[in-house]
Structure 1
Amino acid sequence: MTSILTNVAAMSALQTLRSIGSNMEETQGRVSSGMRVGTASDNAAYWSIATTMRSDNMALSAVQDALGLGAAKVDTAYAGMESAIEVVKEIKAKLVAATEDGVDKAKIQEEIDQLQDQLVSISQAASFSGENWLQTDLTAASGSEMKSIVGSFVRDEAGNVSVKKVDYELSTSTVLFDTGGDTGILDQVRDISGPSATLNINVGGVTSPVTVKSFTTDDIIASGLGASTFDGSYANDGTDNYVKVADNTWVLAVDQSTVPDQEVVYTDSSAGLWAVDIPGGQAALAATAVEQSVDNLDITAITTAEQLGNLIQMVDDALTMMTSAAADLGSITMRIDLQGDFVKKLTESIDKGVGRLVDADMNEESTRLKALQTQQQLAIQSLSIANSASESILTLFR
């Protein structure tokens, strides 16, 4: 049936043309954007995954930047520690040279003074972005302070995210100088006086060899000594003998032949001690009380070969701790490099994965667009033919 009111062929051709136009619009959008899934309406699942992974990739990019900053901090600390190790090696060599008989210790000390100043300079200069890992206030930090470097961004299987960090502890074994006290590797004071000092002390007219075991006296207070003799240097309470080694500092003198291992320290608490004179006793004892640190050691204050040997051992112990700290910094540097490479590869892998989900195949889309253009031209011609079909009815009325 032919109708001039309802042109079914034209309606069908128009519907086809509209469908082709819609497909062309979609294809042109993919060609222009390069994406097969550009909005949630294209494919909600793929769009959601791609959006989440792009967000994670931005976080990983921030991790890469943080790794670069962390690497700079570690490299600065390592460079400072490495330089400090070389300086401490020089100090150790100077001390060994000082063991030679007849050497001018004052001249050697002048060189050591310069090396000590260099250690301070290195420690102060080893700072990056306001952080110095070679010196800090360990006292305020209760003995240790944790430094962290952002290492990675992780999303687990449950969708929970977290930032993993690489930690490095600033402690008495890794910090060169404690700015709030003296617990660093180089400013930690150590006793190099040796195990004891033996003196001949006159006790009741009889000279006996005695051994003084310790010189640390701040926290032990004498009580109830009931002294019977006192002259400012020696005291006896009727049972034990005590020697004054400093102001308000008294040490129990032990007879080597009876109790060689006893170690007791007393501090005078205005107990009114009495004693007899001991010529040279106090000075001889005070000379053995030697406490030094690497940053302020003074070989001119050394009186015995044993003390010099203990001083060399002290510097070598500090060198061992510095070497261990440098090794820790080196291992962190290696880990940061490895993590940086991994984050870079991970970012590229995520980009590839997202691309497989949402990127358009340009070869396929361009071919499809060409075909749609051809279909559009044919649909237009079909619509034109369908519209002209009703005109043929006029011939029936001629």
Structure 2
Amino acid sequence: MTYLLTNASALTALQSLTMTQQSLANTQSQLSTGLSIQHASDNTSYWSISQTMSSDNGALGAVSSALKQSSSMLATFTSAIEQTISVVNNIKNDLVAAQNPGANLTQIQSDIAAQQNSLLQIAGGSAFNGQNWLNGTVNGSTAGFQSSVNLVGAYTNSGGVSYISVTASAASLYTNGSAATSVASASGGILGATSAGYSSAILGGQAINVTGATGANVSNLTNMVASVNNTITQLETAAATIGSAQEQLTTQQTFISAMQTNLTNGVASLVDADMNQVSTRLQALQTQQQLGVQSLSIANQSSQMILKLFQ
């Protein structure tokens, strides 16, 4: 049956063509953006999950940057401690040489004083971003010295930030920070503490002095060597403490990198478009569009057949 005012075939062809054009527009958008889900309206569940995962991935990026910064800071402290051990070994060598009969104690003491100044400079110059655990300075203030420091180590959406705790005081060569402007003014810490058997420290007001270790006092040299050996042991422990923290940071960096890769792949699997499928679909829809236009043209021509009834 044919109607003059209503062309059912044309309406059906138009509806089909409209749907094809909508699909074609969506496919072209996926082709240009590379995303199959761009907005919440495309797929509410997948879009929401991908947003959370992307947010977490961004937080992990901040954790990764913090880990790199902390690793560089600890590397600075490690280098300083290793150099400190080398200098303290030089002082130990001087103390051993001082026990040789006829040794020039004045010259030996002069060399020890030079080594002590080097220790002060090493500790004072080992600052990284306002942190200097070696001289008891945190954020540029001796008042801010902490026995332990929490370094950002990880992040989860449910648990928030977690930390790697490091005993900063274990690496402290002396504890009065920038206030120690000379060998005599340094106090506390590994180098400023006195040891059993001898009342003087390597640094501080009672710093070791070999010039008076003669005659009845010559046994003090043996005590000084014992004190220095004790200091070296403490420095090795400090290096081990920092080294252990560095190992944790390295492990976390590897883990965080893997997590970022997993999250990136997870987001891609949810919202990224498969370009092979998109390109194939685009060609099919373009062909379907052309056929739809022809179908609509044919349907529109059917109304003109009514005219032949009146000829």
Is the shorter-chain TM-score for this pair beyond 0.5, marking a shared fold?
yes
Residues 318-347 of structure 1: CA deviation (Å, up to 9, x unaligned): 110001101111222222222212211211
Give the Cα separation in 2 of the matches to 1:379 and 1:90: 91
Moved more, 299-308 or 347-356: 299-308
2:194 is matched with 189
Q: Distance in 2 between matches of 1:42 and 1:54?
A: 17
Q: Deviations over 1:82-132 (max 9, x none)?
A: 100000011111111112222221121111111101101111111111211
* In structure 2, C-alpha distance between the alignment counterparts of 1:186 and 1:59, rounded to whole Å: 40
**TM-score, normalised to structure 2's length?**
0.89
Q: Deviations over 1:264-315 (max 9, x none)?
A: xxxxxxxxxxxxxxxxxxxxxxxxxxx3111221012334243222111111
Q: What is the alpha-carbon distance in structure 1 between the residues aligned to residue 171 and residue 256 of structure 2?
A: 29
Q: CA RMSD in A?
A: 2.0
Structure 2 residue 201 is the aligned partner of structure 1 residue 293: yes
The code of the aligned residue for 2:165 comes to: D
The alignment covers a number of residue pairs equal to 296
Please tell me whether residue 27 in structure 1 is matched to residue 27 in structure 2.
yes
Q: Which amino acid aligns with 1:115?
A: Q
Query: CA–CA distance in 2 between the matches of 1:358 and 1:25?
Result: 18
Q: Among the aligned pairs, what percent are the same residue? A: 38
Higher mean C-alpha displacement, 115-124 vs 141-150: 141-150
Q: Which position in structure 2 is the counterpart of 1:214?
A: none
Deviations, residues 54-108 of structure 1 (Å, cap 9, x unaligned): 0011111111111111111101111111100000011111111112222221121
Structure 1 contact 182–189 (Cα < 8 Å) conserved: no
Matches within 5 A, 1:196-275: none
Aligned-partner Cα distance in 2 for 1:122–1:135 = 9
Alignment check: 8 A CA contact 1:191 1:292 kept: no
Q: Equivalent residue for 1:386?
A: 299
Matched, 1:175 2:172: yes
The residue that corresponds to 2:113 in the other structure is: 113
- What displacement does 1:190 show? 4.2
Relative distance call for 1:294 and 1:372 in structure 2 (3 A) is same
**Alpha-carbon distance in structure 2 between the residues aligned to 1:110 and 1:307:** 18
Question: 1:76–1:126: 8 Å Cα contact kept in structure 2?
Answer: yes
Aligned match of 1:93: 93
Instruction: State the AA in 2 paired with 1:145.
Output: S
Q: Which residue of 2 aligns with 1:397?
A: 310
Instruction: Please give the alpha-carbon distance, in whole angstroms, between the structure 2 residues aligned to 1:392 and 1:141.
Output: 99
Alignment map for 1:269-348 (pairs within 5 Å): 291-295=199-203, 296-302=207-213, 303-348=216-261
Aligned to 1:349: 262
The aligned residue for residue 54 of structure 1 is 54
Q: 2:196·2:227 contact (CA, 8 Å) conserved in 1?
A: no
In 2, the alpha carbon distance for the partners of 1:104 and 1:377 equals: 104
Once the two structures are superposed, what CA deviation does each residue of 1:187-224 show, in whole Å capped at 9, x if it has no partner? 1234645xxxxxxxxxxxxxxxxxxxxxxxxxxxxxxx
State the SS of the aligned residue for 2:3: coil
In the alignment, is residue 375 of structure 1 matched against residue 288 of structure 2?
A: yes
Higher strand share: 1
Matched residues in 1 for 2:17 and 2:278: separation? 19
Separation in 2 of the partners of 1:17 and 1:357?
A: 29
Distance in 2 separating the partners of 1:306 and 1:141:
39
Q: Could you tell which deviates more after superposition, 182-191 or 374-383?
A: 182-191
- Give the residue type in structure 2 aligned to 1:176: L
Partner SS for 1:42? coil
- The equivalent residue for 2:156 is 154
8 A Cα contact 1:190 1:292, kept in partner: yes
Q: Distance in 1 between matches of 2:153 and 2:269?
A: 28
Equivalents in 2 of 1:344, 1:120: separation in Å? 39
Match of 1:75 in 2: 75
Secondary structure at 1:177's aligned position in 2?
A: coil
TM-score (norm 1): 0.71
CA–CA distance in structure 2, aligned partners of residues 388 and 87 of structure 1: 101
Match of 1:17 in 2: 17
Change (3 A) 1:344 1:294: same
Q: Which structure has the highest helix share of the two?
A: 2
Rounded to whole Å, the distance in 2 between the matches of 1:144 and 1:375 is 72
Question: Structure 2: how far apart are the matches of 1:16 and 1:137?
Answer: 75
- Equivalence for 2:8: 8
Q: Distance in 1 between matches of 2:145 and 2:43?
A: 57
Unaligned runs of 5+ in 2: 178-185
Q: 1:396 to 1:334 in 2, by over 3 A?
A: same
Letter aligned with residue 106 of structure 2: A
SS in 1 for 2:149: strand
Distance 1:140 1:63 in 2: 27
The corresponding residue for 1:163 is 161
